[in-house]
Amino acid sequence: MEVLGDLIGGLGVAMRPENFLLLFVGVVLGLVIGILPGLGGTSGVAILLPITVFIAAGNKVGAVELLAGLYWGALFGGVVTSILFNIPGEPWSVALLFDGYPLAKRKGRPGLALTSAFIAALLGSVLAAVLFTFFALPLAEKALEFGPPELLAVYLMAFATLVGLESSSPLKSIMMIGVGLVLASVGFDTLTGAPRLNYGQLWLLSGITFVPVTIGLFGIGEVLAAAEEQGTGQLDRISAKLGLSDFFESLRALRQRIWITLVNALIGFWIGVLPGTGATPASFLSYGIARQYSKNKEEFGKGEISGIMSPQASANAAGVGSLLPMITLGVPGSPTAAVIMAGLFQWGLTPSALLFVEQKDFVWGLIGGIYIGSLLAFVLCVLAAPYLAMIMRIPYAVITPFIIMISIVGSYTLNTSMTDVFITIIFGLIGYWLRKMKYPLAPLVVAIVLGDATEKAMRQSLIASGGSPLIFFFRQDSSTGQYTEFNALASTLMLIAIALFLLPLAQWLLRRRRRRDGSSAPAA
Amino acid sequence: MKRYQIGTAAAIMLIAAAAMYDTRASALPEDVQLSPGGLGAGFYPFWSAALILVAGAAVAIRALRGPEGAPPFEAREHVYDVLKVVVPTLAATVALGWLGFYLVTAIYVAFFMWFVGRYRLWWGAPVGVALAIGFYLAFEQGFRVALPKSFLYTMGVLPF
């Protein structure tokens, strides 16, 4: 049990007053950055990087505690605007829009929605931290077996679980997925550099990214829907209680959903460990899985707590997971992890398995910081939740212009581009109309996010195999150069993905047949 | 409702058709010698758009055969309620390039509270100014994020 000793040592290092103070500052800054739209964990870490060089000169653990604290803080803080205003504070909190905002607004329970997300976030972080503590090296090596074909299978699984999203109209879901895929490919082809779908317009060359689109579709779209409801007097009463009653209610809710949340935290952790993925796809995949295997499927999209807990647990677990291959192999699992790695290099550390031997204090201090930082962020968030929930009681005419200005900042700061602001406003109008026409918006957003990555994984595989689709199931035989060696990992994943695609189709056929039997029975 | 459903599906299909037209040159798998991996830049968007076209046609046909349903707006006033938010927002967005983020925030918030919420201007104006100052302190001073500045900034009159 050498690991336990190391962990206790690491917790001790993280609890040293100077390190704890830096961790605390990092967490608070991260929470603020997470709440402010447009400022993400990645940019927050990047802004602090120069400062950490001075800290690292005397105390490398302190420097990494500051950055890691900011990262945890942002993972928690991104929740807030998603749930309260339908505007994602961070890309990985987009999946919270689907059920978090409905629970806060339609069902009038913002406090419950917030605390549920925070509890799930803590669960995800701690589970991931435990896995990090005990299996860092073997997991990181396993992750490297994931090449483009395996990644493609994972992305296809995400799509498969989402096709049936809001099953009221699968055809409209499919249309929205198509629109998302087309929007994702506007600009340049990332593999060949060929321009596409820009119709000679310069502003389209930079592509349509999902943040301004999402802020428009959900944030602005919701504002417009509320403008109409204002006239019909349909606005619900918001309950915002001070005290911890929401906290205990979300604990009870978690107990009923503990398994699906844990499984999704595990999935999120693993996706985070995979190179180049991160918390955003993890949260979407987990949302889809939670929905697929939930008993109250119809409640999804209307404020089901599983739709909050699963993606959030997954996002936080992925956030922790993405640090693992960075520390052990120097392969960052997410953009934020990549920036933290840049910090490591600046402080004169080379990420590798050797760090566990040579810089024991640093590595275990960081791991200890994951536990303490998550707990810190959790406590701060739960204490603040009732006050945050009160924001929703601000009158419509005061909060609406505030939400619109926040939306504008969020889309502008991403690339400091006015084009993105116009995209946000236009998609706000589109989102409002599509909602009226009963088109589901979630598949559109998911397809924009995953579309690029899926295309890249598919084409990179094909480039590697020289155009042979056999690469999705077989490995290259080293002697002949043919794709004949069975690739168990890729094949299994791919078959699961295909099965997931066929599942809704089979269910639909079954239902149809049963209905036909049912309707013909009385006639006979 | 029926014609709005069909119109919406048709509009989305039109966008899809435009995308297919633009990417038609590299829509089919090609020789590996010509493009890496045998797939060109157009393959993926072309077939995604084709998916929209097929699903869109089905949606339109189902809407055509289906019941009429409720109209999208219950009353004409609701259209005005929405326009009351849309028009000032569009104006504010266009004004950003000229008045900058902070002046627009102050004016827009004050105007919105007065115009939509029927608050008196002496309530709306302080709220707008306070929000603008709050944003300025948070973004410009706190996190060093530059937001669009006004023409008065370029003239050197104001710090934002």
Output the pLDDT for position A240.
60
DSSP label of A171: H
B-chain residues near A175 (CB < 8 A)? 9, 12, 51-52, 55-56, 59
A233 Cβ under 8 Å from any chain B Cβ: no
B103 Cβ under 8 Å from any chain A Cβ: no
Instruction: Give the residue on B whose Cα is nearest the Cα of A176.
Output: B52
Q: Tell me how close the Cα of A34 comes to any Cα of chain B, in angstroms.
A: 12
B76 Cβ under 8 Å from any chain A Cβ: no
Determine whether A222 is exposed, middle or buried from the number of CB atoms within 10 Å of its CB (0-12, 13-18, 19+).
buried
Percent of residues in chain A assigned helix, strand, coil, to nearest 5: 75, 0, 20
**A/B interface, count of CB pairs below 8 Å:** 185
CB contact under 8 A, B89 and A466: no
**Separation CA A10–CA A68 (nearest Å):** 14
Which of B44, B64, B140 has the highest number of chain A CBs within 10 A, making it the mutation to test binding with A? Answer: B44
CB contact under 8 A, A402 and B9: no
B65 Cβ under 8 Å from any chain A Cβ: no
B86 Cβ under 8 Å from any chain A Cβ: yes
Mapping DSSP onto H, E and C, the string for A190-256 reads: CCCCCEECCCCCHHHCCCCCHHHHHHHHHHHHHHHHHHHHHHHCCCCCCCCCCCCHHHHHHHHHHHH
A138 Cβ under 8 Å from any chain B Cβ: no
Q: Please enumerate in sequence order all residues whose Cβ is within 8 A of that of A512, keeping only pairs 6 or more positions apart, or say none.
A: none
Query: Residue A234 above 80 pLDDT?
Result: no
Return mean pLDDT, chain A. Answer: 85
B-chain residues near A466 (CB < 8 A)? 32, 37-38
First to last CA, chain A: 71
Which of A171, A227, A458 comes nearest B59 by C-beta? Answer: A171
Which of B15, B108, B118 comes nearest A405 by C-beta? Answer: B108
Give the β-pairing of A195-196 and A474-476.
unpaired
B127 Cβ under 8 Å from any chain A Cβ: yes
Instruction: Please give the structure tokens belonging to residue A145.
Output: 């077996």
Instruction: Please give the structure tokens belonging to residue A387.
Output: 């006050």
Asked if residue A30 lies in contact with residue A69, where contact means CB atoms within 8 angstroms, the answer is yes
The ipTM of this complex is: 0.93
For residues A46-75, give the mean pLDDT. Answer: 86
**Separation CA A142–CA A136 (nearest Å):** 10
Per-residue pLDDT of chain B (160 residues; tens, 9 = 90+): 788 999 999 999 999 999 999 888 888 887 777 777 788 888 889 999 999 999 999 999 999 988 888 888 878 888 888 999 999 999 999 999 899 999 999 999 999 999 988 889 888 999 999 999 998 988 888 777 888 888 888 888 888 8
Instruction: Please give the structure tokens belonging to residue A367.
Output: 């791991």
What residues 35-64 of chain B have any CB closer than 8 A to a CB of chain A? 35-42, 44-45, 48-49, 51-52, 55-56, 58-59, 62
Closest CA to B59 of B12, B113, B126: B12
Q: Comparing A16 with A295, which gets the higher pLDDT?
A: A16
B125 Cβ under 8 Å from any chain A Cβ: no
**Separation CA A291–CA A191 (nearest Å):** 34
Determine whether A264 is exposed, middle or buried from the number of CB atoms within 10 Å of its CB (0-12, 13-18, 19+).
buried
A-chain residues near B119 (CB < 8 A)? 397-398
Give the model confidence (pLDDT) of A418-469 as tens digits: 889 999 999 999 999 998 998 988 888 888 888 888 888 888 888 888 888 8
Output the pLDDT for position A92.
83
Q: Could you write out the DSSP letters of every residue in B126-140?
A: HHHHHHHHHHIIIII
What residues 447-466 of chain A have any CB closer than 8 A to a CB of chain B? 451, 455, 458-466
Instruction: Give the residue on A whose Cα is nearest the Cα of B88.
Output: A401
Closest CA to A114 of A140, A78, A142, A149: A78
Provide the CB-side half-sphere exposure for A39 (13 A, CA): 28
What residues 210-229 of chain A have any CB closer than 8 A to a CB of chain B? 220, 223-224, 227-228
Instruction: Please give the structure tokens belonging to residue A490.
Output: 């890729």
